[in-house]
Structures are given as structure tokens and as C-alpha cells.
Structure 1
Amino acid sequence: MSIRSLRRGITAAASALAALAVTLPTTSAPAEAASLTRSAQPTLTTHDFPVYPTGDHDAGVFTMSNGSAAYCIEYDWVSDGYSTFDQASWSQFPGENPDNRFTQHAGEINWILQHGYPALNVATLEATVRAAGGTITDSLSPFEAARATQEAIWELTDPGKYNGPWPEQYGWQSGASAADIASVTSYLLDNATWLAAGKGAAPTVDVAPANTSGNSGDVLGPVTITTGGVGYAQVSISGLGAGSQLTDASGAPMDVNLDAVQSGTQLYFTVADDAAAGEITVDAAVQGADPASTGTLLVSTERINGDRGQSLIEVSPASASDTAVVTWAPAAVPPTLGTTASDQADGDKVIDPAGGTIVDVAKFTGLTPGKTYTLSGKIFNKTTGKLTGITATREFTPTAANGTVALTFTIPAGYANSTLVVYETILDGTTIIVDHSDPNDQEQTVTVPPLPPTLGTSASDQADGDKLVPASGGTIVDVLEYTNLTPGQEYTINGELFNKTTGKLTGITATAKLTPTAANGTAEVLFTVPAGFDGQTLVVYEELLDVDGTIVAEHKDPEDEDQTVYVPSIGTSAADQKDGDKTMDHAGGAIVDVVAYTNLLPGQTYTVNGELVDKSTGAPTGITGTATFTPTASSGTVEVLFTLPAGHAGKSLVVFERLLDANGTIIATHEDIDDAAQTVAVNTPPRRTPGVPPVKPVAPVPSKPSLANTGTNASPMLLLGGLLIAAGAGTLTAGRRKRTAADQPL
């Protein structure tokens, strides 16, 4: 029957306890060795972590004059005033306490003493309980450990009598955990077995090997902690510093509680690669029980008022320690080389597709100061998998074993959309000392992005390929020249005409889809230009969008002649060639029409064809004029002469003009029947009044005398009325004039 099962079967009733005591087998306690009886008489010197069951006597851990500790094994007997004890064998337990069951359970109590506190320190006891499945809510305290050990002993000697915990005035420490005490008590009772007096294992510890050596940068170890008699050791490590740490076998940091290192644990250490020679010391200590004296019965030798004091049971802690030393020396470090490549222009890792300079900083270690070396580099094109032929070299003499040296590489245009890797080698003469040629090393890698797409346009009149679009309207064909597109990818071309004359967009747009078969090529976009843009300068704006609708290139330069077309215009101003006024003699004469033009192409040949139109009927007169000219500027004037015969007296004649290019295409007209500027009047022969000279009719006055093609809002009837009034006024004036020879009748 285990102690735990026995404990569960006990009730608090005294009669039941007595009956149970009678039925317990008396043969379970082996005979003990008589040699335990000693002549020394230890005295009680201090009382640690007392337990006051009833407030009138104490129990718990006592410290004896011989350095051992002792626990109470008689719940109902007092210790107050008693200080001298005889060491006795278990069979010498006093007989005045017949209910006490020490004799039946002395062996289990001996086991509890050797596995409880203070034989085991609190760290070892806590770790042991946890390993056995017990729960400790917080770190175990000495008070909790002592209390649990005492409770386990009482449960065997005086089962059911102790039903604490008691309030603080009876020895309970504030902050102590009853649950932790119960967990330790359960562990002790569940695992207690009969351990004869003088038996048990003294604590031992071995730290092996005693000496371990290696090089900096290595994983040093293992140092193995092996314990006997107890399961855990307390380990202290000295010599750990910056660059060194406790690790596992892989070199990963090790998380271990050095206050409770389990037997069999292997410790490793890592030291920084560049660490100087040094050492680490590993000290391990264990605490347990001395089986030779632990379990000794202490019987009070004094009588007070005829009563003896309570009996105690002795526990003698024992300890052991061992040390190991781990040493290291600096490792022999071969030369190393690492490089960092960047763009000299801005320090980033991107080189302009048009070309640039790579600066590669080579970082070396382990060279011989004062010795001359050669740093040789070459550029590897990771995209093509081939060397580029771009190289650089320089000699250098380091002043220290470790340092840096830089090389520059000139990258010409032609490496767009490439990944370039710098390969570096350090040579001693012709012997390679160290090489760093890793195509996957990002530090020595730069990229050359693809050339961005470009777009250029050339606009012209679709009809004849020149830069003039007739004022009557036409079609502009814009030829786009693109570069650096992705073959097979679809793009969209969006265009709109910009009116440079007004500074505004026209709203005339065009679009086209493009899927290039090569990176560079051309495409056409057509724009339909209606009439109404006479004299305007139109510029084609184009955008190129990818499949996501992102603009990848555009060309919107209002000053670019290649994407500019012109719409010509003309305006006329007709007059009598003889005197420059607007009235022609009924007998005939010559009309000069000054044609003002805009937006022509200098150096090209043009023709102006004109005809006189009868304003009253709108019918052509058949009287024509023509002029061919080659302008030296885009804007200017040209004169056209019309010979007016007699026979048009009293008529208003309007000059209609047409401008033709060298191909005979009409590119501009000015045919406004109401335009006073291009109108002349033919007078009528005056009636001869004796003594009154003939009066020349007054020609109509244009509302806006200008060469521009502007008109008037006045109606013909109003103009006619004005002419009649003017004529009458002239007649009245003439009547007051003195007759001359010119006034004689025809």
C-alpha cells in the first residue's frame, strides 16, 4: 500500500485513526543499524520557518548546534523550553505517545528528508516537482518548501491532525501559496518509499570534460553536467562577454535555468570570429542529504514538570561541486573579399541606360599590411550569362590587414534592361589570393533599366502630304514614330488637335490600337478637320497608353514643327487703282484687289484667282483677275488687277477671290457678298444741268476698313439710302460751286 493511498483512507475521527493504527502491519519497518546511536548531544539553536499548530507550541525546521536541521515528528508535543537532545535509533522512539506512527513510517520519512527541504535547495526541489508533473504557480520559497516537508512528515506520523494553513500569527508567511505547498507535499508523499537508516545517495556532480579548447568562431563544447543523488545542479558561468554566449549544439542561443540544470545537460559556447584568446569557467554545485546522519532520531533529554519535549528527526544537507574550463584561441583567418557596387552618379544601384560609371568598393580581410596587391575586376552580364569585356584594375598597398579599396567601371550605352554583376579578384603578383565572383550577390549587382518608350510625330495634309490643310476642311495624317515598346503587347494611341493660335484644345480627337512586332516602328492616326479653322495653326498632341491605361509616352510640344499643320486664310480689299477710293467711273477703269494671306508656306508657289460679282444679282460678271506668287513669309499680301469695262454704271461689284496651291487645289477663299472691303461701286453718268458740273457718286464706306476678311451687318437698303442721301448732298454742294472747264457737258 502506497503512502498516498494510505493517506486518502484516513479520516479525521480519532477512533478511526486508532483503529487504523492497530491494523497497520508492524513488519513493514526493517530493522535499523544500532550504529546510529551516537554520544553527541546536539542542542537546538534556532527555529526556522516555524509552524504553530495551536499557538502554544511550535514545530517546523529547527537548526541544531551540530549544523544539521531537524523537523517535528510529534504533532501533539511541545518543543518550547527544550534544547538538549540525544541522537537515537528509530527503535528508541519514546513510548509516551502511543498514537504516533513514526516507527511504522520512519523509512518513508527518511526518504522525504533526503528529497525535501533543506536537503534539496528550493531551486532543485521546484524543478523536481515540476518534472514529476506538479504545478508551481510561482517560484518556490524556502518557507513553502519547509512547510511542505513538515506537512508530509506529519501526514505520516500524525495523520489527519494537521489541518492548516494557519493565520499569520501562527507562523504563516504573507504571500505564501497554499497550492504550491500542497503540490510539493503531494510529490513527497506520492513518491516516498522505505529508505533504511544510513541508506541513500550522497549528492555528486561531474562537469566534463574538465578542459575544452577550440578557436574563435567555433561552437565550443559540449560541457556535460552529470549529477548523482539529486537530479539538478546549480551552474554559474564566468567569462561570458560581448561576442560570446551560451548555446546549443547548433550554435543557437540556449534557454536554460542555471539554478536548476538537469543532469545530462550539455552546454556549448560560441565566440565571435574576431575574438582574442580567452576562457570560460563553468562551476556546478549540487545540494542533497548526507545519508549517514539524515534520518537520525533526536529525543529530548530534559523534563519540565515531568514532561519531556517533542522528538525531532535530523536532516543533514551535503553538497558537492565541480569545475570545467573552456578556452579558445584566435582562428587562423584566410583572406576574404566582399564588394558593394553602386552608381557613381547618385549612389544607388541603378545605372542610366545611356551609360554611367559603377563604383565597386571591395572590402578585404586578412591581407598583409605593407604588401602590394592587385585588385582586378570585370563586369558580368547576368541577363545574357556572359562577361561584357568591361574591366578595371589597380594596385594597392594596405596599411592594415582589413580595409577597403575601390574600382570604377565605365559602362557605355547598350546595356539597357540588363543586370550587371561586378566580379573582383585580389592577386599577389599573378597568384589569386581571394576571389569574389558570385552572380547572385546583390551587393555586387547593379541594374540597367529598359530604355523608356519614346514617341515622335509628323503631321501633314493627307491629300498632298504638305503642311497645309484647306480652309474648307480636310484630313490630317499623323505618323507616329515609337521606340522601346514591348513587341506583342497592345497599346492605345490617343490624339487631339491643339489650336496654337487660340491656345486651346479643339476637341478634334482620334484613336488607334497598336500591337508592335518590334520595339521600334511607326503608326498612323487620322484626324478629320472641318471648315472653320481659317488662319489657325493646329498642333497634333499624342499619348501612348499600355494595356492598363497608363501613359507610357507622350508628345505634346506646341513648338514642334513636325507635328504642326496650318490652315490658310485670305482677306481682300478692293479699290480704284486710279485714286485708291471705292468708286469706279461708269466709263470703266482698273480695280486693284489687295489680297492679305496667312499661314502659307514660304518658297511654295500659289495662285490667286478672282472674279467680280454683281452684288445686286449675285451673278458673276465674267471679269476676272489672277496673280501667281511665291511668298517669302507665311503672311503677306499680293495684288490682283481687274479691268472694268464700261457698262456697269450704278452697280456694286464685289471681288471674289480663291487661293490655289501649286497642284491647283483651292486652299482658301474669300467670297463674301456683303464684305464692304472687297466691294466697289460704279457711278452713273450724271444728268447735265446747265451751269452745274457733274458730281461723282459717293462710294459706300466700309464699316471696318481693313484687309481682314470681315463683313458688315448693314442691310443693302440702308446702304442704298445712304448713297442717295450722299448724292443729293453732293448735288447741293455742286450747285454752289463755280463752273469750270471740267464741268462742260460730254
Structure 2
Amino acid sequence: MHGRSGLVKGGIAVLAAAAAVLVAAPAANADDGAAQGKVIKGASTTGFSVDFGERQQPVATLFGLKLSDGSMLKMYCVEIDTDLSYTQTMVERPWDKYPNPKSPFTKNNTKLNWVLHEGYPAHDVKTLQSTVAKGGVTFHDGLSEEEAITATQAAVWHFSDDKNLLRDKPLPYEDADTTADVLAVYDYLTGSANTGIGQQPKPTLNITPAKADGTAGTRIGPFTVTSTGSITDLAAQLPEGAKLTDANGEELKTGDVKDGSKLYVDIPKDAKAGNGEFSLKATGHLDTGRLFVGQDYDKHPAQSLIVAQSEKAQVSANAAVSWTVVAPTTPAPSTPAGNNSGQAPLANTGVDASLPIGIGAALVLGGGAMLLLVRRRRSA
């Protein structure tokens, strides 16, 4: 039989007086794009009290952290000597931003991350039991959820705070069978099989460039999409007739867009000058092992938490586009000088039209002169 998990003394329970003075800092102070949320009362699952000696008997707990997008993460704590806060906003931080750089967390974080990936709830109870049993361990009435939580959280504290369970009585309020089951999983998670896992990349989504311009009647772009998640939504605010296309002018739908896709905004010829935008949303896993630290930690330290189970998280990005209209140029009609009749001018053949008239005139004048000379000679 399992022992009495309800008899809890000490541990990481939040003191009401301490919690009352913790005020969540404005979300605007968080790093841009960093995931954030709050620990939710009633969303936690407790295991058993463990004993590290020196009157330190914290209760192993799997907490629920609700992100601002509504998704819920399962978390273990990594600061055993700091009180948990239900009021302070918890903000995602890289491992090298852990509040105490001298903490064992800094040198052991890859080992700790292995515990999270191989412990509970990353693996369900049956899978974890089967894995540990391969080492020759026999469980008593099977591995329970409370035992799995207790062993995994104790192993996390082993690496994050350099804590070691008392071997003779590691669970001060539980029976021998429960204790043996917890120790078996704890020893597996902290033993030679633990080779460490590095920090994993978080979900990302970017559109470059963030803004582009062009003219009506053309495709503006390309806009390049980069993401570590799956595109789940494509939306655009564009004038009638405008559309998002690929390089060949084929209109794109949500399922067509992925990491590396190149998008164009096709603006119709008759569009007026204007601007618009389009946006993408992607869903990815906020991976096991991600660290969350109190947003107002410097003033009011709150127990740091680390993701124990991968959950989907949503990221978004948008891009803007603007275009102008090129006015058509119409040449003004020209009229040859002296032609006011409205009739089409004669074709220019390259010969001066006045030349025949001049020759004719010369011939007339010349002929008159010759006639006058003949008459004079006859009269003579």
C-alpha cells in the first residue's frame, strides 16, 4: 500500500503572507516575444514529501502554468529554497539567464534536462515503469503517478540544487514499498544512463522583409517565411482583387505555406494607390526543459520553474505592403504649320515642293525674254 501523502510538513507551499506582497509586473516589461504565464491554483498534482536532511522535507509537485495564449504547461520547480508565487508573471528565459549563476543548475542543466525528457510526465507511468524495470527492478503494485512525480521532482532537485535523498528514509511519511518504488526511479534518472540533453530551440516564425512596396499591376515580393513550427493560419487585409501568390502567380492557401516559402502580393492593375498587410500564425512545441523565471524576480524572488511536458505554443508574424499607381502618358496631337484645313498633311517625300514652281517660273520668264529678242531682230 502507498503511504499517507496528505501529511505534508514544510516544503515548497507558498506562505499566504508572502504571496500577498507579490504583485505581478506589467506584461510590457517582458522580453519581446518571450512566452509568459502564471501558475494556476488547482492545476497542480502532488506527490509525496521527500527528505534531504537538515529538516528539509519539501513536497514534490507537478505545477500547471497557464500561458497568455491559453495553453497549459506542466512544470517542476528548480529553486527549492525559494517560495512559489501564484501572482507573479513567469517569463521564459534562456538557461544562461538563470537567476543565480552560481547555482548547481548552471553546470548540471543538461543532466536536469535529461531527467525531464526521460521522467514523468514526458513518459507515461507505464512506459517509465517498463524502462526502469529493464534494470532488474520489481515494482510493488506497479508505479503510481504520485511515485513517478516524486522521483522525477527529486531527481530535478538533485541537479538544480545539489540535493540528495536520505537513503535510509527518503520519504518520511510513506511505507517501505512506496519508498522502494520512488528510489528505483530516482536512481535511474540520476544514474549512469543520464547522458544529458542540451537546450532545445523554441518555436519561431519570421517574415522577411517586414515591409515592401511596388506598383499596381505587379507582384510585390518575395516575402520569405522561416519557422520551426507548422503554419496554422494565413490572413490578409488587401483590396479587392489583390491576393497572396507564389512566384508563378498561383494563389496560396494556409496549407501551402511552410518554412522557406516565398510569398508575393499580387496587386491588380486597376487598384488605387494604397497599402495592406498579411499575417501568419504557427504552432510549435514549447519544448520540455524550457526555463521560466519570475518577471519581477529582482524585487520579489519567485520560485523558477522548468517545463516537464512539451505543449503546443502559438507564435505569429506579419508583413506590410504598399503600392503606387503609375499614370499613363498620352502624347498631345500635333498639327503642321500653315495647315488649318483640318485635312491630313501631304506626305513628305524629301523633295521641296516649291522647286517645280520655281523652274516653271524661270521657264516662263526665260521664254518671254527669248520672244522679245526675236521680235527685236525682225524689226531690225
Give the TM interval when normalised to the shorter protein: 0.3 to 0.5
TM-score, scaled to structure 2: 0.43
Greater RCO (Cα-Cα under 8 Å, separation 6 or more): 2
Which structure has the bigger radius of gyration? 1
TM-score, scaled to structure 1: 0.23
Give the number of the structure whose residues are more often helix, by fraction: 2
